[in-house]
Copies of this chain bind each other. A is one copy, B any other.
């Protein structure tokens, strides 16, 4: 019988590309991952990995098996969710990931509602950029996460991750009426690698120029403080723009940001996930949108 643990490693290899990265994701040594994949290959009776020097690539058979691995792991996830239902209501630890603004604005009321309704539930929050969420979910480091998508930035499609939209908010530009007019300005964006950084670059490119990025700051309150001090222009979402510091003009742009809840496919019926998404929704409904 094929071992789902090995199938999981194979799937991670397909996503991350190197054995070392897989090992880091599952907190094994590369040696262990290598051995497990070799064993899987032996059981499969057909080469799954192609070793060329110090790199590995999946063979067509390897890719095929990844598809099936996906289906197997999804069914196992469903089975676990069904057991959680049988255990009776949400309980135990629930690891929540959230981008910083959500952690500040959305999570406090959501968590209050969540633990109020389900005292046995122990939510644990980690700040995490949306770009890293799907890997963290797959690795089992998170159970549910708040992520966002921007226009211009294609949403990450991952067969093993499912999302539920929560709300949409408009984006604002500081100091200038349009992005095009900020062509010569210094820009304040998120740190490289974050979605916010990508979003700002793409928005400027869409307006026909490459932005001059001077500051990399993730926290929108700090961003606004910098803008108020004349240190540059920035794009901020509605939620972060409700109470701008003095001297900061905000112009609403025809650009929006969608916030979603993400979780492992097959885990959507898990009572803790259901409860968390419900709590997110009621918190959203009380947001100043």
Contact = CB atoms under 8 A, between A and B. Distances in A.
Contacts of A72: 72, 75-76, 79
Interface string A127-152: 00000000000000000000000000
Contacts of A76: 1-2, 4, 72
B83 A45 contact: yes
Contact of A75 (B64, B68, B83): B68
A237 B54 CA distance: 65
Nearest to A68: B79
Interface residues of A, number: 28
A289 interface: no
A83 B4 contact: no
B46 A87 contact: yes
A34 interface: no
A124 interface: no
A196 interface: no
Main secondary structure of the interface of A (DSSP, over half): helix
Contacts of A36: none
A22 interface: no
A78 B83 contact: no
A79 B80 CA distance: 20
Which of the listed residues A4, A64, A72, A79 has the most CB atoms from chain B within 10 Å of its own CB?
A79
A287 interface: no
A44 interface: yes
24 contacts: A1-B4, A1-B5, A1-B80, A2-B76, A2-B80, A4-B76, A44-B83, A44-B86, A45-B83, A46-B83, A46-B87, A46-B88, A61-B83, A64-B86, A65-B83, A68-B75, A68-B78, A68-B79, A71-B75, A72-B72, A72-B75, A72-B76, A72-B79, A75-B75
